[in-house]
Chains A and B, each alone.
Chain A
Amino acid sequence: MSKPKFAMYWSGSCGGCEIAVINIHEKILDVDANFDIAFWPVAMDAKVKDVEALEDEEILLCLWNGSIRNEENEHMAHLMRKKSKLLVSFGSCATEGCIPGLGNLFPVAELIDTAYTTLTTDNPDNIRPQTVTQVPEGEITIPAMKDRVHTLAQVVDVDYFMPGCPPESHQIAAVIDLVIEVLQGKAELPPKGAVIGAGHSTVCEECPRQRNLKAIKAFRRIQDVAPLDPELCILEQGVPCNGPATRSGCKARCPSVGAQCIGCYGPAEGVVDYGARLITAFASVIDSKDPEEIEQILDGIPDPAGQFYRFNLADSLFQAGAPAFKKNEV
């Protein structure tokens, strides 16, 4: 009996999701024992034409990590969707845009300009990448950037979502176990569209820190609070912590070791707009009724859009900043 096929593909991302999968250690042998790895560019050599040659839905499980940043990403998303029975939006980039999604605050031309003119970029001829280039041998092309980053689900139909930047290895292992159990007829798949490999509550709920009434007179950066109380809620100490709006599942990794949650597990269950939920959470801890004083306190959050949408901009209600909708005239 042939084994069902597994694929993992990456698009606009950092590669951390791949590392997280490798990080499941010997569990990876279970993947190999139960699946035939059909396509996984980072781990094995297979070509796109091999995927094209497959029957539709011949791949049983495809983990897709990465945002849709360029036309090739989009093309591959359609291909993998067609060839896969279960397509999982794996990790924050695929699910909510993540750091690449912050590119949605700028027009594409400005992003490229910045990338090719930084102090540390050695580019004396001030070259920019061209989608089409003529060379003696003919014409060569690279994929064009899209106007803005999209999530996988904004481009194709997705079966499951697995948040995290990257997803925690213990969660990945649990999901793989589940799929294997389903294969053996011992378990059932969760309903389509479900969030898998994560909790149903907030990071605060898993956080071991002590909570009291929060009343803040100043927001400060974590390095400016010395020493941070090791027992007390970080937000209560005036340091912006995104725990109240963020989905549980990581066992409150960051606040457990003295760092604020920056929200990598995305919006908690039932949250429509991640930033809006955080606005509510942060506003409610401000201990002032005087607009002027409140403004002063808010100065302690120098980049609110970045603070609230670091991972979630592409999947938020606005999906982007206004400049991304202006056609590139840089």
Chain B
Amino acid sequence: MSEQFEPVIICFTCNWCSYRAADLAGTARMHYAPNVRLVRLMCSGRLDPTFIMKALSGGADGVLITGCHPGECHYIEQNYKAQSRWLLLRRVLKGLGIAPERVKLTWTSASEGTKLTKEINSFVEEIRDQGPLAWHKNLQQEKQETSQHNPKQAPVEVTV
């Protein structure tokens, strides 16, 4: 039996909506794929694209961004900012040869435990189809292939 690829997915959630939706899914004993690791933010607007890049370059195969529905953000319109960033980030990823589909955005309210569960499960399958991103592995492997570092950590003293 060939082993199935289990993608690693980071899901950024908003404290006011999707995190609660995930909580609701938990209390209602709904099942969602164990591949996702949730990270709670105060709002999708807090999501710096650096976090996503760090996740993808550090071992994740996909990133799911969730936030309050348009018009329902607790910080007025930060979720719209998240949307613009996401759309621009996708283009940058494409330019780097990374499938933009590896980063998805979806709106979920606090009561939408079922919707979140579905979104997570289908995203896991989408990323499974994409296959591993292996970025971290690539970077690590090369490091070993190339130079032996020559650490020289002691502070330098200049005397003449």
A: residues with CB less than 8 A from B are: 1, 4, 60, 74, 77-78, 81-82, 85-86, 105, 146-148, 150, 155-157, 159, 182-183, 189, 192, 272-273, 275-277, 279-280, 282-284, 286, 288-289, 291, 294-295, 298, 301, 303-306, 308, 316-323, 325
Contacts and interface: CB of A to CB of B under 8 A. Distances in A.
Interface of B: 48-50, 52-54, 56-58, 70, 77, 80-81, 83-85, 87-89, 91-92, 94-98, 135, 138-139, 142, 146-147, 149-153, 155-156, 158, 160
Contact of A301 (B50, B91, B138): B91
A305 B150 contact: no
B135 A318 contact: yes
A88 to B, nearest CB: 12
A317 B50 contact: yes
Contact of A273 (B53, B88, B142): B53
B84 to A, nearest CB: 4
A139 B143 CA distance: 30
A298 B96 contact: no
Contacts of A183: 158, 160
A65 B52 CA distance: 32
A155 B148 CA distance: 8
5 contacts: A105-B95, A156-B147, A284-B81, A318-B56, A322-B97
A283 B81 contact: yes
B85 A283 contact: yes
Contacts, number: 125
A320 B141 CA distance: 14
B50 A192 contact: no
B53 A295 contact: no
B146 A280 contact: no
Contacts of B81: 283-284
B92 A275 contact: yes
B95 A276 contact: no
Contacts of B56: 318
A294 B158 contact: no
B77 A289 contact: yes
B48 A280 contact: yes
Contacts of A289: 70, 77, 80, 83
Given A183-B158, A283-B88, A291-B87, A325 B138 contact: yes
Contact of A279 (B57, B89, B139, B155): B89
Contacts of B139: 319
A35 to B, nearest CB: 11
Contact of B96 (A156, A280, A291, A322): A322
B124 to A, nearest CB: 22
A319 B92 CA distance: 13
B160 to A, nearest CB: 6
A295 to B, nearest CB: 6
Nearest 3 CB-CB pairings of A with B:
A305-B95, A322-B97, A283-B84
B53 A157 contact: no
A152 to B, nearest CB: 11
